[in-house]
Amino acid sequence: MLTLVKQLLAELLQFDSGLWWIILLRAYGKCSGDLSVQERVDVQTGMKMILRLCLADGFDMFPTLLVTDGSCMIDRRMGIHGHPLEIEALFYSALLCAREMLAPEDGSADLIRALNNRLVALSFHIREYYWIDLKKLNEIYRYTTEEYSYDAVNKFNIYPDQIPPWLVEFMPNKGGYLIGNLQPAHMDFRFFTLGNLWSIVSSLATLDQSHAILDLIEAKWAELVAEMPIKICYPALEGQEWRIITGSDPKNTAWSYHNGGSWPTLLWQLTIACIKMNRPEIAERAVQLVERRISRDKWPEYYDTKRARFIGKQAHLFQTWSISGYLVAKLFLANPSAAKIFVNEEDPELVNALISANPRRKRARKIFKQPFIV
């Protein structure tokens, strides 16, 4: 298990590597019982540098982390700049993990205080404004625009015409998810798998929201899982939208690579989320699909087409993260308690702070030292 955790750490390092480094550092300590690594001076210094960079004051008024396009998944344009869910979920999880590992010393007090303030604001913001289900979709459909008061319902001035036609058909009666991105006058309604799964794992999503995300995956199995788990996002960018956003990127054509491709490595995140919510049968079903062909296909990194029937046109074979994702999923299903090394349980103090932080309450602005818009 330790070898697999180390391998996942090595394979997952991308532009958002600092956040993954903190998350997997905690997982290593919980898995091995060896806390000497996270207690090292250079490691503590590294954590503090990452946290101070992420928590630094800036011109952005939202508690979410502002990033450029290509901040996760790939160093190409995919239209996920601004406040993408995947980064926010990893950011939230990294804050919780760092809070556990930071050494109690004088220099950490202000950092922990800022960290706790950010956790409250970020959690409320994502749960309140990124969530969408059939009920919320109906509310957006009837939004009144050009509202600017503190009590406005349509706080981000979203026009109902932004609701894409595919979403009307995609949204099941039971289930929901956290949208891919949110900025003033713009909602990216795409379903991003890692962001939603890690919101469950980190408790960024509420208990009800977490179950609803898994309900949606079950209801839309043919679209999100199909013949090989699991779509990195849904739906794919196509036509003129693909040409404008990606610059006609030939590697990210529709239903390929990071544009709606299916990635077996996401199996381990799905498994942890299902185990946490006591619904392992969903992950077991996905593992059975993988076992039918991935070995015969020589462990490719991703699959193409809507139903993931083809090996990715530029996919490398014998990929360690595809093999590790499958093996970790199998090990966690055989020993569910082991998945706890990645799970962040909801903090009761954070829940109480969230109740107080509700902007409908008169006390709300006293909670935060920074004037986040929530």
- Residue 90 in domain: yes
Q: Please check the confidence at residue 188 and state whether its pLDDT lies above 70.
A: yes
Q: Which pLDDT band, with edges at 50, 70 and 90, does 360 fall under?
A: low
> What are the angstrom distances between the C-alpha of 96 and each of 90, 114, 212, 285, 343?
10, 12, 23, 31, 10
Instruction: Report whether pLDDT(321) > 80.
Output: yes
Residue 346 lies in a domain: no
pLDDT digits (tens, 9 = 90+) for 216-260: 999 999 999 999 999 999 999 999 999 999 999 999 999 999 999
**Containing structural domain, residue 119:** 17-189
The two structure tokens encoding residue 6 = 């180390």
Distances (CA, A) of 22 to 29, 50, 118, 126, 253: 11, 9, 17, 21, 33
Across 290-310, average pLDDT: 97
Q: How many domains does the chain have?
A: 1
Please list, in sequence order, all residues whose beta carbon lies within 8 angstroms of the beta carbon of residue 111, skipping any fewer than 6 positions away.
48, 51, 52, 55, 102
Both tokens of 253, joined, read: 């054509």
Answer yes or no: is 91 within a domain. Answer: yes
pLDDT digits (tens, 9 = 90+) for 20-43: 999 999 999 999 999 999 999 999
Residue 264 lies in a domain: no
Residue 304: enclosing H or E segment and its boundaries?
strand 303-304
Task: Give the residue, 181 or 185, on which the prediction is more confident.
Answer: 181
pLDDT of residue 10: 43
In 3D, which of 98, 89, 51 has the Cα closest to residue 203? Answer: 89
Please, which residues bridge with residue 259 across strands? 256
Whole-angstrom distance, CA of residue 365 vs CA of residue 373: 10
> Which pLDDT band, with edges at 50, 70 and 90, does 153 fall under?
confident
